[in-house]
Structures are given as C-alpha cells and as structure tokens.
Chains A and B, each alone.
Chain A
Amino acid sequence: MKVVNEVNWMIGGPQGTGVDSSANLFSQACASAGLWVFGKREYHSNIKGKHSYFQVRVSDKPIHSHVDDVHILATFEDSTARLHAHEVVKGGALIYDPTKITLDDLNLKSGVITLPIDFNSVIRHVAEVTGMEYGTLSLMKNTIAVAASMALLRMDISNMEETLARMYTGRKAKLVAPNVAASKKAYEAVDALPDEMHDQFPYHLEPQKNTPKRLLINGAQANSLGKLKAGCRYQTYYPISPATDESNFLESHPEYGIAVVQCEDEIAAIDMALGAATTGVRASTATSGPGFCLMAEGLGWGGMNEVPIVLFDYQRGGPSTGLPTRHEQGDLMFAAFGGHGEYPRLVMAPATINDHFHLAFESFNYADKFQTPVIILNDKFLTHSLETISPFKENSLVIDRGRLATQPELEAAIADGKGFPRFRPDPKTVLSPRPYPGQEGSPYWMTGDEHDDYGHITENPENRRKMHEKRMAKYRLMLEQIPEDRQFSFHGDPNADITLVCWGSTFGALEDALPLLKERGINANFLHLRMLNPFPISAEKFLRKAKKLVMVENNWGTQLGHLIRMSTGIFIPAQIVKYTGRPMSLNEILDSVEKIHKKQVAPEMDPLTGQSIEKVVLTYGL
C-alpha cells in the first residue's frame, strides 16, 4: 500500500550541527515541489551539544499541526536514534550511521526499515571531487541525511539542488558545490538499492504541478512582516528566547528604516518604546515571560498616559526562567491583570502563522484607536514553526491612527494659551485628540500621576473619577469597535456534541482535528478566542449553546477557563491541558477528545475552585 504525500519526517542531532538548516533544506525542497509543509522545532537552552530535533510534516493538502508518528527518522550520530527510534511507525524508516550505533541498542518497532549510510565515505568522496578539506565538510552530514530521505521518498533530487543554490548565497555560495556533490552521492546510493527494499517503504512524495507560490515562513517572521506593513518603525528589545528572533529579523531589514534598539534591560525596552511612541512613531517591543514581568510598571504608565504601544510577548515555559526554549500558554492571566491599579489593556493572541501577520498589523491600529497598550501573546510553538501558507492578503489592510489632533484644535490651543487639552474626554467618543510634539500648539504634559485635561497633576477626587472612568470606558469601546470576527471564531457543526474552547496556537491542531474526529465518530466543533481581554462577551452564546464544553490549553490551570468563569459564570470542568513545555500534537488532541467523549476520564478535585473536574494531562514529546 502506497501512502502518497502524507509524511512526517524527523531529523535530530546535537545543537550546532546543522539540524535547523537541514530541516529548512528539507522543508524548502518540499515547498518548492508544491507540497504543504508544517515543521516543528524543539531545542534546548544551549548553544552546542544538547539534543535538538525538527519534525517536518508534508502533505498535498494544507496542514496546520504536527503529528507524533514518525515515518522517517534521519540521524547521523547516536543520540537521536536512541532518543527517537521508538517513534518510527511500522513501515517507516530509520537512516543511521552504522559506525556510530548498533541497531540492537535501539527501541525500534518491528517492521521499521533500517538504512545504514556511511556518512564519512560520502564526505571523503566530496573531498576528492571538490578538492576541499575533509575536516571542513563534517557539517554536510545533514545534507546527506536529507538526500537519503529524498531518495527513499522517491522525490526527484532536482528540488533539493535548487534549494541548496538558493540557501547558500553571498559569502556562503562556496558551500553549494560540495553540498550538491554530497546529496548526489547519497541520493544515488539509496536510489540504487534493490526495488524490494524500496517497495517495503510505502511513503512517497509526489511534486505537485502548477501550484501557486506560497510562503514558507515561521511565526516570528510573519509577525515582523505584519509590523513593518503597519508602519511600525521603532522596536526595542533585550535579548531573550524565544522573542529575539523577531528583533533580529527586523534589524536585518534596515531598508525599511525601522529603528531597532537593543536596550540594557526590559525596563528600558518598554520605557524607550513608550518615549518613542509619544513622538507619534508606531512603536513596539518584543519579549518573553521574565522580560514581560519587568515591563509591568511601564505598561501601567502607558495606560495612564493613553500611549499607543504594542507589546509582543513570546510566551515560553514559566515561571521564572522556567523552560526558556519551550512552549507554554502561561502568561494570559498576567497579561490581563498584571500590574498595580486599573488601566485598560487589550490582550489578543494569534491563531496561526498567517494570523501573526494580520494580528501584528491590526494591533497597531487598535493601540492608536484606543490609545492604550496592546499586548499580543505569541508563543514559542508558532514562533519557531515553519508553515507553507498562501501569500498574505494585503488588499483589505487599512491604517487607522485613531483620534489625532486637528489643525483647528491645535490653533485653539495656541489661542487658549493653556496647553493642549490632550486628556479631555470627548462626551461622545470618550477618546481625546492626540497631537505630536513638533506641531505648533501641541505642548501638553504627561505624568503617571493622576492628571487633568492638560496633563497637570491633581488629586482632586472628581477629576480622578472622570479620568479613571474615561480610561476604563475603553474596554467598552474595544468590545463595540473590534469586529466580532476578529474577537473570536467558531468552527464546525453548531450542533456538535462536543465544543472545544481554545486560544492562541492550539487553533491549528483543532482545525486539523475536526474532520479526523468525525472519522472516529465524534462530532465536535471549536470556539477560538482571539481577543482575551476584555473578554469577548458575544462569544458567550456559543458557550451557552454547547452540549459539552472542553477547555484546551497549554497550561496547568486553564487560564482562559478561569477568565470564562469570571466573565460569564460558566465553569468548564472538562479540560485538556499540557504543561511539559511541548505543544499539543494532532494525535494528542484526537485521543484526548475521544477519551472525554467516551467518559474515560476519572473525576478529580480542582484545588483552585473546589469543583470536580475531568482533566486530561497530555505528555507526549521529548
């Protein structure tokens, strides 16, 4: 039985040995063959030596999640084979170096095809034909593993050769020839194996013809492009995983004129972005958990002074330094409530890699429109996941800078001589006009202290009430003015038996799961909340109508579940959670929903609520 275009390929190795580049090479070769790709990357908080791996799922249909079954495990040293051999399915294949491991040491399923490759002899061959030194070519083991995989998958080598030429340009162009020679040699060796061997391996990839061009992109890149499109021209950051990729990407594109400032700490990062924003530039900062905590004070200042600013929090495993390079959806409560006192902040999270672009774009409009901080909750999973997506739809994008000061208003301020009434609430729209320094008539005052219409400090109780109510009224404006389809989305049969409730990056696995659950006889739908604070109360109707609600979250306590209870009174006892630092796979979603559907989950007491809950804790993945 042939399985065409449904392959999950994995490569692994010590960090610093080119695992990433080989996964990029494999993904790009598949993408250029018109196939859809979803790649997930796992790595340690370490530079050299510790185990990392990258799995790439390939299909001829769009895919948005990763799966656990491995069809090809490509290895070139011993650790990866030892750690992942058990994940290869029957009929799958292991590519390995017989000089490094003996198969008896591995926990392989029966029926796994084993393909020994003498990596060193291939490299010796390359050294001979190119005249390069053997020692400089050791990193090519990855390329050899990829080429061997391509031969097993019966994919033409030409896609890979083209990809190599595209990957290595400029200073690295000299790497093309040896890599091509190595891949040819490895490909030919595997290709020349007897037909019986090839016939045992059912997984094939077939290039798709005349497919439209697609982007092969990760979350950090998509996010950065959305920011540039929105006109963001000021980015601050302090190095932190996994947020730094975004700032690095922006800095590597000086042609857009964006000022990317590496700060001394995250306190400076948020405050510098705020200072920049007061001049009218669209400004943002990107960070992860520990840095986000340091920004709490600055965000409050932004809320008090009605400064449009966007903070991108690339969530990772917490608390404290936690799991610096692993995934978690653990910052929701902090984003919604962190900080002293009350101020309005809009919290949203992108659903997909495509959505990273669109939400990043929109977030600057929302910050300007509501004149308050916006927090976007990205996460490690999609930040580093590679996906083929259709090019971003740009034709509906519009810039909205919100309520800016008009010329007559500036002239009135000059005539008045008291400064610009920057904070005077508009009786109808609540919001006040915002002038920029540089405009004649613009001067006004900003302070974290309570202040009057002009920004002068006052502790007058009536003024306090007026200003506090004005700021907090922005929550109502957000609910009214952010389109409902940007607040949340509902997917699947409205009358389904199970309604899964999620936010952020679990979207992809649930989207892919619905039709597969149907195959298992389970009719499920899902509600995805994109806007998380203020709570999108119009989504309540879907919660009320649901026959059985199940929370799906990458954290321990279902943080969104608590927000739902807080805002609607609805308590959701069925929970699928994962807090190992790894994202939820499609397999895990399917199995856990089935478990809940079949009532196979033993009830337990929830210490946060005292209620009985049915909690499935997912654990898969190294």
Chain B
Amino acid sequence: MVSKLQTPLTVTAYKSDVHNDWCPGCGDFGILQAIQQSCAELALPPWETMVFAGIGCSGKVFNYMASHGVHTLHGRVLPFAVGAKIANPDLEVVAVGGDGDGYGIGAGHFVHAGRRNVDMAYIVMTNEVYGLTKGQASPTLGRGQQTKSLPLPNTNDAIQPLALALSSGYTWIGRSYAFDGRHLKEMIKKAIEHKGMALLDVLQPCPTFNDLHTAEWFNKKVKVEGETNMVSRIFNVNEVGHDGSVKDPTNLDEVTDKQKKAFEMAHHHGERIPVGVFYEIKLPTYTERMQAQAPMLKKYSPARIPYEDASHLPTTDLSKTYEEFLF
C-alpha cells in the first residue's frame, strides 16, 4: 500500500531547484504544476514517489520534480515504470511522456500496459508535434494538417489514444487540457488514486511548433449546430451527462454499454473537444493477480522478500526444489 504523509507538504516540496528550460508559453508548465499540486494534495511522501518520464520536452518533467525522477528511453517510459511498480507496489509510480513518445515509438508498450492493469497513472502530454526535434508530426496530428515545421501537409491519419486505451484494457481513461489548471489537477489526482492503469491524455499547445492548435485556438468560442450562442471549444463530458464509470464489472451489458459510449466520445467530431473521465472500471490489478498465484507476495513485495541474514548468508532454502532433481 502506498502511504500518505501525516502532515502534508507544500507544493514547493515537490519542486526541484533545477532551472526549467521549456519554451515560454509551453503547455508543459501547466502540467508540471498540476502534477506537483496533486502530489501535495494527495500527501505523497516524495521519497516513496517515482516519476518516470519519456524522452522529449515532456521528458524533462523528471528533473523538475523533487521526488524520485527517472528519465527513461524514448518510448519506453511504461516498461520502466511498470517494472518499478510491480517490484514495489508500496511506491507511488507516475509515468509521464509526450504523444510521440507514448503513442508513436512507445505504442506497443502502451497497448500492453493496459492488459496488465498495473496500479499507476500515465499522463501523456499531447501537442501533435515532436517538439524537441523541432516540430515533426506526432501520431495525434490529423491528416492534411500542416504545422509550422512540416514541409508538406501530414500524410498520416491521427490515432485516437483514448479509443486505443479502451481497446487495450486501461481501467481509467480521461482527458484534460494543460491550461485548465483546476480540472487538470483534479483529473491527475483521480488518475493517481484510481486502482489500476490510468491514462490521462492532456492536450497542450506547443507555442513554438504547433501554429494550428494554439492556446488562443483552444480558448476560442465555437459555433455549434442548434445553439444560438457561441460555446467554449473545450467541454467537460461529465457535465453533460456522460457517466463512463462501470458500477458492476461483472455486468457485461453495462461494461459494453459504457465502453461504447466512451468510444463514441473519444471519436467526438466537430469543433468541440471533450475532456473529463471517459471510462472507469474496477478490475484486479497486476499485483493482485500475482498475489493470487504466489501467496508469498501477499506478505512481501518482490523488492522486499528477505533472502539474506544479518551476516549476508543466503536464506533461500532450495531443498524442496532440489528433490525434483536428486537421484
């Protein structure tokens, strides 16, 4: 079990003194701030918290946190983070990365992380470009769109990460926006608190390379059919009647119904962008599945199983297993 501090720390306690070198106006700032606030509000002990990050601008989050920060390899943040959480479920593990990192080079890991339902949150910073290599198209950029650095319009269709997460078995799926600090923080807290694998896709502008979907674009009011007044582009699905939370995971009709609705919402067409909790279900976590097969893991996490005595002699008794081979 992840422990909580008796006396919560202030948000400053989760900020490292490393100079932040993101471009001014980057959506990453909002996300980092919200992660740090969430850690403080959830009273996570920094020494029991591990923030894993991928490679790219988003990857630098690891260094700005004053918890354990692990900068992994491009596309590999999930295997590293999953490895740590399985080894020691008492740690709070949060994975962070960009959309190129997670949905592009890391897409294989993204899918399989869902199948395991490890109890952790994965926050993906989606800005439709590969920022740190100067603005190439990421897997979320739509076909025909041409951001600043593209010599020609994008030839690939965009993937729909929330629908992909749904198909892959993620048990909590949500979306937020980098500059809606309050909503983002609440969503991060929910993703962390969810028991199982949570995907939080966070839309964010890249002020340097994405000249299509800027902060102004996200904030713009749009015209919607049937409405007389202009409405905000971003809307919270949970405020317009979408309830993606499965009440009874054994009720397959309910599960299918909620999945269908979440899938439709993930593929929402038009000018408006839905955010909020799309889908949620409670299923056994990877650790619980392992514990059912290896009772010793109910008593100890793999990282804490004793195997040496005070004088460093190995204490694992193999004699029962030797019997298989003794003649």
Contact = CB atoms under 8 A, between A and B. Distances in A.
Given A28-B327, A216-B327, A273-B83, A228 B318 contact: yes
B285 to A, nearest CB: 13
A281 B88 contact: yes
B23 interface: no
Contacts of B88: 279-281, 437-438
B47 A446 contact: no
Interface stretch (A447-455, A551-559, A606-614): A447-455
Contacts of B305: 231, 233, 256-257
B87 A279 contact: yes
B314 A275 contact: no
B322 A215 contact: yes
B307 A233 contact: yes
B80 A274 contact: yes
Contacts of B62: 445-447
A276 interface: yes
A254 B325 CA distance: 18
Nearest to A361: B314
Nearest to B82: A272
Interface stretch (A46-54, A66-74, A261-269): A261-269
A189 interface: no
Contacts of B313: 397-399
Nearest to A222: B325
Contacts of A276: 83-84, 86-87, 302-303
B108 interface: yes
B303 A280 contact: yes
Contacts of A534: none
B78 to A, nearest CB: 8
B214 to A, nearest CB: 28
Nearest to B60: A457
A603 to B, nearest CB: 48
Interface in B81-127: 81-84, 86-88, 90-91, 108-109, 111-112
Contacts of B325: 215-217, 221
Contacts of B60: 457
Interface stretch (B68-76, B136-144, B147-155, B233-241): B68-76
B157 to A, nearest CB: 24
Given A231-B308, A253-B321, A443-B67, A263 B73 contact: no
Interface string B234-259: 00000000000000000000000000
A498 interface: no
B16 interface: yes
A440 B296 CA distance: 26
A234 B108 CA distance: 22
Contacts of A438: 47-48, 88, 90-91
B117 to A, nearest CB: 13
Given A229-B314, A438-B90, A447-B62, A264 B108 contact: yes
A420 B221 CA distance: 48
Interface residues of A, number: 75
B327 A388 contact: yes
Interface string B193-225: 000000000000000000000000000000000
Contacts of A298: 73, 76
Contacts of B273: none
Nearest to A254: B294
B159 interface: no
Contact of A437 (B48, B294, B326): B48
B128 to A, nearest CB: 25
Nearest to A218: B325
| Interface hub of A258, A259, A398 (most chain B Cβ within 10 A) | A259
Contacts of B86: 234, 259, 261, 272, 276
B316 A231 contact: yes
A282 B293 CA distance: 20
Contact of A257 (B52, B82, B302): B302
B33 interface: no
A443 B46 contact: yes
Contacts of A456: 16, 18, 63
Nearest to A224: B321
A213 interface: yes
A275 B91 contact: no
Given A217-B325, A271-B83, A438-B90, A257 B63 contact: no
A448 B314 contact: no
Contacts of B91: 279, 437-438
Given A275-B80, A456-B18, A399 B314 contact: yes
Contacts of A221: 325
A485 interface: no
B87 A275 contact: yes
Contacts of B81: 275
A301 B108 contact: no
B297 A259 contact: yes
Nearest to A301: B73
A79 interface: no
Contacts of B78: 268
A440 B45 contact: yes
22 contacts: A31-B327, A215-B327, A229-B316, A231-B308, A231-B314, A233-B303, A234-B303, A256-B296, A272-B79, A272-B83, A275-B52, A275-B70, A275-B87, A278-B70, A280-B87, A281-B88, A282-B307, A399-B308, A400-B312, A445-B16, A446-B68, A447-B71
Closest 4 interchain pairs by CB? A275-B83, A231-B307, A447-B71, A257-B296
Given A268-B78, A438-B88, 17 more contacts: A231-B307, A231-B316, A233-B87, A253-B321, A261-B86, A271-B72, A271-B79, A278-B83, A283-B87, A298-B73, A399-B314, A400-B312, A443-B69, A445-B16, A445-B71, A446-B62, A456-B16
Interface of B: 16-18, 45-50, 52, 60, 62-63, 66-73, 76, 78-84, 86-88, 90-91, 108-109, 111-112, 290, 293-297, 300, 302-303, 305, 307-308, 312-314, 316, 318, 320-322, 325-327
